[in-house]
Amino acid sequence: MTSHAMTICLSWLLVGMALVGHGGLHVALYNRLNATGLSRRMIKRTEWLLLISCCTIPVLLLFFYFRPVVEVLSRRTDWSSLPWGLRLYAMVCWGTWLYPGLPWLVTRPILGFRQAPCQFQRRRLSVDQQLPQSPALSRKCRILSRVPCNQIFELEIVEKDLLVPGLPSQFDGLRIAHLSDIHLTGHISPDFFSYAVQQANHWHPDFMVITGDIVDDDLCIEWLPRCFAEATARLGKYFILGNHDKRVRCPQDIRQTMQQIGWQDVGGRWVSYSAADGVIDWVGNESPWFAAPSDHNPRSTSVLDIALCHSPDCIDWARRQSIPLLLAGHTHGGQGRLPLAGPILSPSRHGSRFASGEFFLAPTTMHVSRGLSGLHLLRLNCPPELPLLTLRSAPLR
């Protein structure tokens, strides 16, 4: 290949990198936008602006600068001949390959970034085949559930032995069923969620928890007893709310209904449980959508603290509190995962770094569930998850 041909190929490569960087920049902004406590209306408007910007900027640049770009690509002139604004934006797009591109690359799940030691057994159940009637209630859900490779009803039940450094030895073997992101929207029957609860009951957990996004629609609040009243746990059932729970007129109605059917609200507060082997302090952090809890439980005599947080973005808060275990959801595992690359979209200020799985950031072990459902009725290579956690003690690293 001649030097002229190589120069042309390099020019095309740089244009391709700029286009990929342009897309990556918008994905990064989308992920971090959905990690904020902004109103739903503001977020939706900004999402539309990002979508329009992502699609139209390359078209507009090509329309206005077609000739000079072609001349550069054909090497009839050099990059310095391009308008300064176009060169500046190209440099911004190339810069995204360094940040957030490089951190995104090194945090791919396949590379095991900060993963906590965990042994697991998993099995998948096609819930729509287990129930007497399809759990798809709406026409939209029925249509989308038939899309090839859509896994919205393919429940993955995962029994995990999760190593928790700093866990007191007397709590080695503690069993927690971790439910998250229920999203009662009216599209999926409550039978789907009660089936998941039944599977958790069969495991005989010590505790059962829900880490937010329970109800999206006021009409579905009355479904809560049908979904969760039959849940059983030997020592207790705790829940918090998430950002989607703010979509109902009065989120307090969700809290009251859940408490009426035997669940304890720990949102924004510390709750102590006195076990035979010592006191466990549970704390719920629903920020930035609801008030955050106080930094410490002033009356605490606990030997173990466990945090329920809707978003994995609370990991920094948990580390400051020296909390050994944090359970979270919110990110849905990315809703879809590419082979090798893993998740792309994830509503977190960390991007898709903590989209799902087990992580250790000393002194905190964090478990992020993919959740049971979502507002979007498509899951690709990312089935709903029911994690059943057995905690195992280990020396603090």
pLDDT (0 to 100) of residue 64? 86
pLDDT (0 to 100) of residue 299? 63
Task: Map tokens 């989607």 to a residue.
Answer: 244
Reported as a pLDDT band with limits 50, 70 and 90, residue 298 is: low
Last-in-domain residue among 84, 104, 124: 104
Amino acid type, 240: I
Percent of the residues in the chain that have a pLDDT greater than 70, as a whole number: 97
Reported as a pLDDT band with limits 50, 70 and 90, residue 277 is: confident
Q: Which of 17-21, 56-60, 249-253, 294-298 has the lowest mean pLDDT?
A: 294-298
190: CB partners within 8 A, 6+ apart: 184, 223, 226, 227
142 lies in the same domain as 32: no
30 lies in the same domain as 175: no
Last-in-domain residue among 63, 85, 104: 104
**Measured distance CA(36)–CA(144) in Å, rounded:** 29
196 lies in the same domain as 81: no
pLDDT digits (tens, 9 = 90+) for 43-87: 999 999 999 999 999 999 888 888 887 777 776 677 777 888 888
Q: Distances in Å between the alpha carbon of 209 and those of 63, 174, 219, 268?
A: 54, 13, 23, 15
23 lies in the same domain as 163: no
CATH number, position 308: 3.60.21.10
Higher pLDDT, 80 or 142: 142
Task: Map tokens 């893993």 to a residue.
Answer: 342
131 lies in the same domain as 49: no
Q: Which of 15-24, 90-99, 176-185, 291-300 has the lowest mean pLDDT?
A: 291-300
158 lies in the same domain as 13: no
Residue 39's domain spans which residues? 3-104
83 lies in the same domain as 212: no
**Tally of domains in the chain:** 2
Last-in-domain residue among 104, 121, 136: 104
pLDDT digits (tens, 9 = 90+) for 333-369: 999 999 989 999 999 999 999 999 999 999 999 999 9
274 lies in the same domain as 360: yes
Residue 397 has pLDDT above 70, yes or no: no
8 lies in the same domain as 136: no
pLDDT (0 to 100) of residue 54? 96
147 lies in the same domain as 120: yes
**Measured distance CA(195)–CA(186) in Å, rounded:** 16
163 lies in the same domain as 89: no
32 lies in the same domain as 181: no
Q: How far apart are the first and last CA of the chain?
A: 54
pLDDT (0 to 100) of residue 106? 94
Cβ–Cβ < 8 Å for 210, 263: yes
123: CB partners within 8 A, 6+ apart: 156, 157
Work out the average pLDDT over 360-389.
97
